[in-house]
Each structure stands twice: as C-alpha cells, then as structure tokens.
Amino acid sequence: MRHVLSIMVENRPGVLGRVVGLFSRRGYNIDSLSVGTSEDVRYSRITVSLQGDERVVEQIQKQLAKLIDVQDVTELEPEHAIYRELCLVKVEATAAARPDIFNVSTVFHANIIDVSTKTITVELTGDLMKINAFIELMKPYGILEIARTGLTAISRGGK
C-alpha cells in the first residue's frame, strides 16, 4: 500500500543524505521523493511516497523522527491530503498528429510548453492516476522523454 510522508527537516547541507541514507540502509523502498523550501525558512519539506504495510511505515516514521535534523514527520493520508506531481512529456508529433495531442492535453488541463517540427512538449500537474492516464494516451504517438518531479503533498483544510 502506498503511504505519503511529509518530513520537515532543518535547512542544512547533508540533511537529504541522512534521510535517503536511512531509507537505503534499513531497506525501505522509496517510490518518489521531492524536496523544497517550506513556509518556514529554517526548514525544508521532504515528501516521500513509499510502499509498505502499517508496521513498516510506523517503523520508518519512528526512525526518521530519531534523526536530529528531522523536525517533524507526518503521514498524509489520501482522504485528508492533496497529492500533486508535475510531469513534462515530450511526444513525437507529426503535423497530422498535432491536433489530437492538443485535444487530449486540453481535456487534461495540460499546457503545451514547446512545439517543434517533430515534437510537442506538454506540462501536466495532477495526482498519480491522472498523470499515468495521460502518459498512456500519449504512448501511441511515441514518447521521447518523460521528466517527473515526484509527488508533493499538503494536508487539507485548516490543520
């Protein structure tokens, strides 16, 4: 089962290494990881998406909380949080295929960010399912490159 952890860490060199090192040495698998600044300049927010049962996730949270540079670890459960990911897809696009790609992109509220004689690059944000669905629809045209940021997430409401 997928779990999403939001980890507030001190904004210092080497902190990401400590978090990632913990995952690798304890044998936890990361699906995706994103990191950036947070509302507080002293801290960065790391969002980790991972697979595991409740006991594994409990153990990961406790081990993370033991790291001195980790300020807070929260699990963001799907019903109480919003998950988003940014995805850039470069698709082969002949003149004939272009209108179709434009149409699908419109349906997905995706932006066309670059067009060349042979390619179209689309920018899309959404949760995992939306992005995967879009990628499936682009496959027949020929996907040249995909770049994804990995999931980031935030809790819903006034928490």
CB nearer to other proteins: pick between 53 and 136: 53
Exactly one of 32, 38, 63, 119 binds other proteins (CB under 8 A); that residue is 63
Counting contacts by CB under 8 A, is residue 17 touching other proteins? yes
Sketch the per residue contact string, 67 through 106, with other proteins: x for CB under 8 A, - otherwise: xxx-------------------------------------
CB nearer to other proteins: pick between 69 and 92: 69
CA distances from 62 to 59, 69, 70, 72 (A): 5, 13, 11, 10
Contacts 24+ apart (CB under 8 A), 10-14: 10/42, 10/43, 10/44, 10/69, 10/70, 10/71, 11/37, 11/41, 11/42, 11/43, 11/44, 12/69
Exactly one of 10, 37, 62, 103 binds other proteins (CB under 8 A); that residue is 62
Counting contacts by CB under 8 A, is residue 1 touching other proteins? no
Which among 60-68, 87-95, 105-113, 138-146 is the span making contact with other proteins, rule CB under 8 A? 60-68
User: 10 Å Cβ neighbour count for 48?
Assistant: 25
